[in-house]
Structure 1
Amino acid sequence: MQIIQVTPSELKEIFNELLDTKLKEFFSSKENQQKTELLSRKETKELLGVSYVTLNNWNRKGILEPNYLGNKVFYNKQQIVNQLTKGN
């Protein structure tokens, strides 16, 4: 075992660097783990102002990507927003 002597100011600097690194890791992981908001077919059609037939057509054409939970269809709200902004 080796003992290293550090001054209080050096120890404080080491601690601050470690804390900064850990805080950056924490906040970047939180941003990457944003909750996915799923919309029902009804919510999606109302948000977009289209009919169920249009939603089905967009599914077949790959414009929207449906997510299935059991026999229910949901849409990722962020994907819808991305599609809308991509079109502009």
Structure 2
Amino acid sequence: MSNNNTLLVQMTKDELMQDFEQVVRKVVNQMQVDRQTSKDEKLALTRDETAELLDVSLTTLHNWNKQGILKPSAKVGKRVYYSKDEVLARLRGGQVSA
């Protein structure tokens, strides 16, 4: 008796199409996120990069966002990015634009 772990599932054509469309949507969405991320990489910093550059904790970044001191410039999916120019202005002790 061979054990190849094959699982056969009965589904309608409509169910198969729905599953297929869902997978395609996820792939396309991830491609859009990746493309946008690569465009923004030169102009934006991640939360971790921003916190490290400013030598503050992620909690401090969160509090600054709530207080309007330094707000993220973009969100792509669940990722948050800060404007490199604004972070550098904060690093120099300058005024951060609102």
Q: TM-score, normalised by structure 2?
A: 0.48
Q: Are residues 1:50 and 2:63 paired?
A: no
| Structure 1 residue runs without a partner (length 5+) | 1-34
Task: Provide the residue aligned with 1:86 in structure 2.
Answer: 94
Which amino acid is the alignment partner of residue 42 of structure 1?
Answer: D
Q: Distance in 1 between matches of 2:93 and 2:42?
A: 18
Q: Which runs of 4+ in 1 moved over 3 A?
A: none
Q: 1:41 aligns with which of 24, 43, 47?
A: 47
Per-residue CA shift, 1:27-66, capped at 9, x if unaligned?
xxxxxxxx96110011001001110100000000111121
Q: Distance in 1 between matches of 2:55 and 2:94?
A: 18
Quote the RMSD (CA, aligned, Å).
1.9
| Structure 2 residue runs without a partner (length 5+) | 1-40
Q: Distance in 1 between matches of 2:88 and 2:53?
A: 10
Task: Provide the residue aligned with 1:73 in structure 2.
Answer: 80
Larger radius of gyration: 1
In the TM superposition, 1:19-30 aligns within 5 A as: none
